[in-house]
Amino acid sequence: MSKMCWQSSLQRIIQKLPHAEPRLAVVGVGHELRGDDAAGVMVARQLLALPQTDDNWLVLDGGQAPENCTGPLRRFAPDLVILVDAAALNLTPGDIQLLTWQQIGGLSASTHTLPLHLLARYLIAELNCEVILIAIQPDDTSLGAPLSPLVQSAVEEVGRVIERLRD
């Protein structure tokens, strides 16, 4: 999926939400000690470093157990939950793809305590919200590896795009 394509898809999804000013939650997922698997966590931390002045936004670092974020998500009552995670999609490292919750089911979740498609189904059923995944193709997920340069660039891009949604 081209860079513009995933961004356009994200814009279309947000425009279809029922409220003029939708409540958006971003949950970064991943294992920070496994190289590029930390991509989602790094996006969340990039966004958490920004001033949090909008009551319609929630950013959470879900780490390896994003299901632990369900309490804060329930209290926030989002219209859309944006999960951000590294995902092996057989693309070039650093490529970004937006997946609907239905497409998440085929992804491996070896570093997560609960597969993301089960989390997505739970959130949809319990919170009556939309759930999508912004997936970043990893390069190296070995223990102790740093973020690869291509994935670092993708993390920064995803963070910038999500940050612009706040405006």
Q: Report pLDDT digits (tens) over 45-60.
A: 999 999 888 899 999 9
Mean pLDDT over residues 133-150, rounded?
96
Predicted local distance difference test score (pLDDT) of residue 109: 47
Query: How confident is the model at residue 1, as a pLDDT?
Result: 45
User: What is the average pLDDT score of the chain?
Assistant: 91
DSSP 113: S
What's the pLDDT tens digit per position in 30-42?
999 999 999 999 9
Q: Whole-angstrom Cα distance, residue 45 to residue 159?
A: 9
**pLDDT score of 139 more than 50:** yes
Q: What is the mean pLDDT of residues 56-82?
A: 96
Q: Write out the two tokens for 94.
A: 């650093």
- Quote the tokens at residue 57: 């936004």
Number of domains composing the chain? 1
- How far apart are alpha carbons 69 and 20 in whole angstroms? 25
* Higher pLDDT among residues 106 and 26, named by residue: 26
CA 92/CA 107 separation, integer angstroms: 16
Supply the DSSP symbol for 148. P
Residue 142's domain comprises 3-165
Rounded Cα distance, 150 and 95, in Å: 8
The confidence score (pLDDT) of residue 144 equals 94
- Domain holding 139: CATH number? 3.40.50.1450
Q: pLDDT at position 111, please?
A: 56
Identify the pLDDT of residue 15.
94
Query: Which residues are within 8 A (CB) of 163 and not within 5 positions of it... i.e. 6 or more apart?
Result: 47, 50
